[in-house]
Structures are given as structure tokens and as C-alpha cells.
């Protein structure tokens, strides 16, 4: 029987790579988009054409009611859920002395409270079934401070604390909860950075290159496989050696 996964923020970037990888491996997947309905629908079509099964629904992680509706729609489509991948996230980079309250709030509400809002809808279900697996996408910005990212670093560090605490709540039921911390990965998020800044970043990375979304998806695929069943409460950096 195929396994079933929910992926937030699957319409592009790392999330889309995770969705494609899991469906190639036989998972049925429900993923979310915020506003890119067309790219979400194109991805569903691509997966369907390849013989897979997927659906996309709208979700604003910062809105609790939206998370309730999204998870209900996902459960209806999948009937069962084995894996949750909290991936949706945003940046609003700015030095703190000019950061506006809405730039702070939107990042914390989407990235950190958003993971609570979605996970809260599934955790009771996982506990009841004594089955499930949660992977939270944090960032190297959750491991080290980066100037201009007080809001983003706070949200991504928060996700690490959330993961570790929840891992201890879920361990007795055999439910792994882990975190991944990507470095600089080639997606629209990093394509916003000026070319000169990206070159400086590449020079700082021991492997001298930006990572690929597929490389992150491969780590996620391992963590939600049976091969990783004794791993919980951990943070896996995937960053070309940046935080080594």
C-alpha cells in the first residue's frame, strides 16, 4: 500500500522537489500553495501524467483556520496520512533598526506559528494511530546568526526548539520528528539575492556552490523512509559544509 504525505509550500522550490521525489517513490501527496495556483496545478498534472497521485489546496500557514481547512481537505483526499513535511516559509530580510512590525510578524507567523498551526491539526491523529513522521524545514539561519535576518533566524531557531520538544512528546509512540537545515539552495528565495552577493556566498561555502532543491528532497526522502526509523529530535544541516 502506498504511503501518504502532506507537504506545505509545494508549489515551487524545495517543496516542489520534495513533492516530485515522494510521488516518484510511490507516495500519494497533498501539497499546498499560497497564491501560485497555476504552478501547483501544473505540478499535479505532471505527477498525474507520470502515473502518480497528488492534489494541491490553498493554505496560508499564518492563519489557523486556513490550516484547519487545508488538513481537512488533505485527509479527505488521502484518507490516511503517514508523513507531514512542514516546508512553507518566507524571508523579509532587513536590518532590525529599519524592520517594520509587519515584516517581523509575517515571518514569525508564517514560518514558526505556521508550523504549529498545521502540525496541531495532525498530531492527535498521529498519536491515536501510533504512527506518523514529521519533518520540519528549518535553515542554517536557525543554527547561526545572519545579519539582516533577525526575524527569519528567530523563526528558524524556533522551529528547531519546536522539533526537539515535539520529538520527545512523540518518541514513546514511535513517531520521529526531525528538522533539516538547508544552507543556500537554488530557488526563487535565493534568486532574489544580488548576483555579487551570491558570488560572495559561493566563496564562503566549502563546496563552492549553491545546493540544489533535489539534494534537499533526497535528504527528506531518507528521513521519512524506514531506513531512518531510529532517528528523532535531530537537526540535519545540508549546506555544502557552510556550518562545518
- The residues that are catalytic are 152
Q: Which residue has the cell 561555502?
A: 205
Paired sense of beta strands 28-33 and 235-238, if any:
unpaired
- For ligand NAP, the closer of residues 13 and 52 by Cβ is 13
Candidates 5-13, 164-172, 197-205, 225-233: pick the segment binding ligand NAP (CB under 6 A).
5-13
Using the rule CB under 6 A, is 12 a contact of ligand NAP?
yes
Cβ 65 to ligand NAP shortest distance, Å: 13
CB 187 within 8 A of CB 139: no
Candidates 27-35, 119-127, 168-176, 219-227: pick the segment binding ligand NAP (CB under 6 A).
27-35
**Cell numbers at residue 98, please?**
529599519
Instruction: Compute φ and ψ for 240, nearest 5 degrees.
Output: 65, 20
Candidates 71-79, 143-151, 181-189, 217-225: pick the segment binding ligand NAP (CB under 6 A).
181-189
**Cell numbers at residue 199, please?**
558570488
- For ligand NAP, the closer of residues 12 and 131 by Cβ is 12
- What is the x/- site pattern for ligand NAP, positions 74-113, by CB under 6 A? -------------xxxx-------------------x---
Burial 126-164 (b: 16+ CB within 10 A, else e): beeeeebbbbbbbbbbbbeeeeebbbbbbbbbbbbebbb
Amino acid at each position: 500500500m502506498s504511503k501518504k504525505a502532506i507537504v506545505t509550500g509545494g508549489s515551487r522550490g524545495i517543496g516542489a522537489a520534495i513533492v516530485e521525489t515522494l510521488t516518484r517513490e510511490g507516495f500519494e501527496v497533498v501539497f499546498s500553495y499560497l497564491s501560485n495556483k497555476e504552478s501547483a496545478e501544473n505540478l499535479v498534472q505532471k505527477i498525474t501524467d507520470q502515473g502518480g497521485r497528488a492534489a494541491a489546496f490553498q493554505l496560508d500557514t499564518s492563519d489557523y483556520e486556513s490550516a484547519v481547512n487545508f488538513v481537512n481537505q488533505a485527509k479527505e483526499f488521502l484518507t490516511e496520512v503517514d508523513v507531514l513535511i512542514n516546508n512553507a516559509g518566507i524571508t523579509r530580510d532587513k536590518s532590525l533598526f529599519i524592520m517594520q512590525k509587519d515584516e517581523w510578524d509575517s515571518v514569525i507567523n508564517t514560518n514558526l506559528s505556521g508550523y504549529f498551526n498545521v502540525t496541531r491539526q495532525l498530531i492527535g491523529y498521529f498519536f491515536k494511530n501510533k504512527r506518523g513522521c514529521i519533518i520540519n524545514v528549518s535553515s542554517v539561519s536557525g543554527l547561526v546568526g545572519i545579519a539582516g535576518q533577525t526575524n527569519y533566524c528567530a523563526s528558524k531557531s524556533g522551529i528547531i526548539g519546536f522539533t526537539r520538544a515535539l520529538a520527545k512528546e512523540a518518541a514513546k509512540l514511535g513517531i520521529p520528528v526531525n528538522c533539516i537545515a538547508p544552507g543556500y539552495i537554488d530557488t526563487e528565495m535565493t534568486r532574489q539575492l544580488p548576483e555579487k552577493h551570491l558570488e560572495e556566498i559561493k566563496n564562503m561555502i566549502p563546496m563552492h556552490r549553491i545546493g540544489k532543491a533535489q539534494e534537499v528532497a533526497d535528504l527528506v526522502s531518507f528521513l521519512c523512509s524506514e531506513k531512518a526509523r531510529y532517528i528523532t529530535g535531530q537537526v540535519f544541516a545540508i549546506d555544502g559544509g557552510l556550518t562545518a
